Amino acid sequence: MSKKKNEKKEKVEEFKKLLEKQKSLVFVDFRGLKTDEIKELKEELKKNDAEFKVFKKTLAEIAFKENNINFKRKDWEGQLAFIFGFKDEITPFKIAYNFSKKNENLKILGGFVGGEIIFREEALSLAQMPSREELLAKVVSSLSAPLQNLHYCLSANIKGLVYALQALASK
């Protein structure tokens, strides 16, 4: 086997390993991004247990096909990069979305979540969803609101009694 063929085979194997570990995958077009901007994005992703990788579409198609995933390279335009999310499904989409708001050259094209390829609209809706922590905070606040109101109502009567007694004591 030629050296070039071995390198391609290694790249496919690397992609397959990343594909097995990922919880979600974001497809982005990074054409026009400068090196320092890519570095900034990679650092942000690394903090959140995600990784930015560039693979040729043909090699990615081979890796997807070997994992029985219907990925067609002709469906994706531009310079395709992959953001692998290892911690949770939503974070890589959010990071890519927030970065694309600051930098127009990064475009979210789609992704792979829950065993399915998704396209731009679905990927953007995932990116705009509240994070797990935000959802948990909303649940906690909605559970605690009735208790806080009950506490306020019960303490209001006692406060009224205390004020009345103080008024009587000062006479």
Predicted TM-score (pTM) of the model is 0.74
Give the model confidence (pLDDT) of 141-171 as tens digits: 888 878 787 777 777 777 777 777 788 887 7
Distances from the Cα of 68 to the Cα of 14, 84, 90, 161, angstroms: 17, 18, 23, 73
Give the model confidence (pLDDT) of 27-39 as tens digits: 999 998 999 999 9
Could you give the angle at the alpha carbon of 25 between the alpha carbons of 5 and 111, nearest 5°?
A: 105
Q: Tell me what the pLDDT averaged over the chain comes to.
A: 87
Give the model confidence (pLDDT) of 27-74 as tens digits: 999 998 999 999 999 999 999 999 999 988 888 888 888 888 888 878
